[in-house]
Structure 1
């Protein structure tokens, strides 16, 4: 809360409240009926107490109730707490004045008038800080939305680059050529699954999140292309209960993780690469594969995992967990309930 803690804003606000209170007492000051010490108390000291107390009430309520839990009940509690605090501020000053500066008891209507204006200044200060907090939250939400949009575009661009770069096209065409010569039915299916892959890439461009069932269907199409190329050298086991199919994840999460597994490990019939996708503790989507590093290591930039982690961070979700064990590599990404957004 940068604006809420800004010292200049607090200083200017206190000066404004002090000036307003000074204006209320200008008549008494002109007639000389109010001691100078009381003028000082009713302007600067009172302004500091009102401003800082009101600010403290707002900050306390926002710590107790996040922006996602705002309600009329919450604002009612804030108004009541502000009334009690302002009543305490005014009461303390009134007692001090009665003890040290007044020889006569102050009329009741004067106390009511003073309490009303003290609360009014406090309410205006609280409203000002509420506005600052909402402005900061709005700006932060816009920034995060823009960052998430950029992360999505980067992920989509990286995925499209991986799908259209020469070696992928070369491998796909080689696979397709071999299928046409020996199995035309399988070739037709290969073309159909390849079209599903590209269709999903294009359709998911504008989405921040997608249902797990849709991502799994795309993953099966993508895996079909890999299995057609590698045969029994690659295996995929998916264990997802029906109750999790409507949970959400960023699009292409599974494709990136599956692609990384193929990129960094040997894939052959003698050493099959086994990838497993499952739900853990009802909160995590886990993708794991056996580690069998290639003889010639492949340079890695970590862009894929970094994009996935950035998306979850911008969505205010738990951090992505990466576990590197001697024989297994595991990535855990949070499953987002559809009711959470």
Structure 2
């Protein structure tokens, strides 16, 4: 067994204390009563430690702290006092009988019980305090673990919502293109497979760099251009030093999809989407506002999805601004040290 520095220090201190005790005992040469008293104290301490541990383990099964805090405290206190006084009195009578010829003195018995209580109560308080702190720390760690597991489950559910939504939209587009232009539909299918491969690569990622998200967006925009031709214009203007900041996967794609979903797109009035950064803290998606006559005022599940995912990583929220001519959404750019 390899000894750590902490164990070596413990062994060293123990040997030092033992050597000091032996030295003083040789020097002082105490009477036999000293050794009897010392043995009695050592016996009592050992019995109290063993008994308290057994009582605590027994009550852990019958009265867990989480469910019976008050009852557990008083029952354990009562049992510990009864057991401790039993040990004190039993050991007193045994030592009297085995090592002396004197009968028990009831005044000594009374004082022994009083001193025992005075020793037991603070000892129990210290023991309870240490036990409570350990239990509280364990409970906190367990709570944090469950929260993280819950967070991961919810994030996974949100990510699972993205893939089918994206898949069905593009399959619908593909089915339309097959009837119009088989060569173009084949090209679209190849690009769609490439885009979906990127989605699968980031399936387990809770956050990705802005650079990776933009690489995906460039491939995704190719699909958009095939479908809408010049009816949609997307301008990307992202500063290079911000590309290592983090965003939830597919967040920009969902914002672009949100623009397409809620706006009328025609050849005479194309949809213009500008994607840029603001104050090095937000990524902005801005589009000219041309709401559809029907279905344009409904609640966006895409925006709600992005908002929910951000809640797990930052207190910053999405910023939504709308004027008579433009609709703007700003999402926070995250850094590793913020998480």
Fold conserved (TM > 0.5)?
yes
CA drift of 1:131 comes to 1.3
How many residues are paired up? 254
Gap change, CA 1:172 and 1:249, over 3 Å in 2: farther
Deviation at residue 265 of structure 1 after TM alignment: 1.1
Partner of 1:253: 251
Residues 285 and 309 of structure 1: CA distance in aligned 2, closer, same or farther (over 3 Å):
same
Deviation string for 1:227-252 (max 9, x for gaps)? 23333322112222222212222211
Q: Does 1:271 align with 2:276?
A: no
For the residues of structure 1 that align with 2:68 and 2:117, how far apart are their CA atoms? Answer: 31
| 1:134-173 superposed matches below 5 A | 134-165=141-172, 168-173=173-178
**Is the alpha carbon distance of 1:205 and 1:270 closer, same or farther for their aligned partners in structure 2, counting shifts above 3 Å?**
same
User: 202, 206, 222: which one pairs with 2:204?
Assistant: 206
- Where in structure 1 do 4 or more consecutive aligned residues deviate above 6 Å? 28-31, 109-113
Unaligned 5+ segments in structure 1 are 1-5, 32-105, 181-186
Give the superposition deviation at 1:161: 1.8
Deviation at 1:257, TM superposition (A): 0.9
Deviations 1:305-324 (A, max 9, x none): 22212222234553333333
Q: Which residue of 2 aligns with 1:336?
A: 334
Higher relative contact order (CA 8 A, sep 6+): 1
TM-score by length of 1: 0.63
Residues 280, 23 of structure 1: alpha-carbon distance in 2 compared, 3 angstrom cutoff: farther
1:145, distance to aligned residue in structure 2 (A): 1.1
For structure 2, the residue ranges without an aligned partner over 5 or more in a row are 1-64, 91-113
d(CA) in 1 for partners of 2:227, 2:87: 93
Paired position in structure 1 for 2:78: 19
- Is 2:196 aligned against 1:234? no
Give 1:192 deviation, angstroms: 4.9
Q: How far did 1:14 drift?
A: 2.1
Q: Are the counterparts in 2 of residues 233 and 269 from structure 1 also a CA contact under 8 Å? A: yes
Shift of 1:13: 3.8
- 8 Å CA contact 2:231–2:271 kept in 1: the answer is yes
Which residue is equivalent to 1:46?
A: none
Give the CA RMSD over aligned residues: 3.5
Aligned-pair distance for 1:205? 2.5
Q: Of the candidates 121, 125, 129, which is equivalent to residue 118 of structure 1?
A: 125
State how far apart, in whole Å, the 2-side matches of 1:263 and 1:272 are: 14
What is the aligned partner in structure 2 of residue 280 from structure 1? 278
Taking a change above 3 Å as real, the CA distance of residues 299 and 327 of structure 1, as seen in their structure-2 partners, is: closer
Corresponding residue for 2:17?
A: none
Match of 1:312 in 2: 310
Q: CA deviation at 1:8?
A: 4.5
Relative to structure 1, the CA distance from residue 164 to residue 284 in structure 2 (aligned partners, 3 Å threshold; closer, same or farther) is same
State the TM-score, normalizing by the size of structure 2: 0.63
Aligned positions of 1:39-188 closer than 5 A: 115-165=122-172, 168-173=173-178, 176-177=181-182
Query: In structure 1, how many angstroms separate the alpha carbons of the residues matched to 2:67 and 2:196?
Result: 54
